[in-house]
Structure 1
């Protein structure tokens, strides 16, 4: 919305362009519009072959193996080029991102999402013990994301983003799972969030 407004303002000499004197005039309606659009365009969970949101950790769905989910069964994350998740996870993430953007003024930085099997092999080679054995990662169920900032690939437990997510993500079905939080069994990953759905 803001980028569009900026483009319109820069093209103000064109008689074909109508502008609003306040580039943020429509911002207060953006989050509800995103939520309505996401709800109307979401696929039917039963038809997609997975259970409704039930507040449980990611696992098998649709009869696919971990990391072997066809791209046709996934949905793109609109603001994160090349990143995909299960469609209901994207729907919830879009709604959460709208609230995050209202608080921070930019989209939630996503630096990883679905990992096919080959990507899991590569991640294990790069990250070692921080990465799950190939074929077992919750990224392989297309229900996990890694979150960064504009300046760092990963958020930390003391970051403003982590504090906001801790307070708000649960209402959208997103969880920093018990094993990654401080005091959990580890590895400790403030940046790793999974879609549990809403009980």
Structure 2
């Protein structure tokens, strides 16, 4: 089975990605023996994905996939955006981040709670041009956190009334999620890198 490195330490992402790319062995940076703190200095999700993929690809002959994803809330001027992971501090638990967002949207009507998850992915390998894809999932921020099946902002992100992303099974989520859509697109690109 061909191996690819996914430039993350987030085991939730790896679980989601491995279920989509089941014909490949997907390993984290740590599993591949890398302990690199890659700074996300880009202004866009695509720029950050490229930075991560190309930085790690310099140190290996294996294809590297990286993503940058986040939550854009229209009422909050598309925040937390590219700073989603670092919103309120990188070490702040997502439960606290979700509570803060719900507090910021207190009293805001549903029509103004529109939001989207954005995922940009890049695949890089020494000697080959980096390729990128992007996908989004439109929804809204609910009035409470619901569900136990997701991670991050999934419990407050609703795809329809009374259904948060964290209430879906992994298979249901993969079929519609921003990361699932981007993975389907990157799966078409990755074969040229193996």
Normalised-by-shorter TM-score class = under 0.3
Q: What TM-score results when the alignment is normalised by the length of structure 1?
A: 0.26
Q: What TM-score results when the alignment is normalised by the length of structure 2?
A: 0.26
Instruction: Return the index of the structure with the highest Cα Rg.
Output: 1
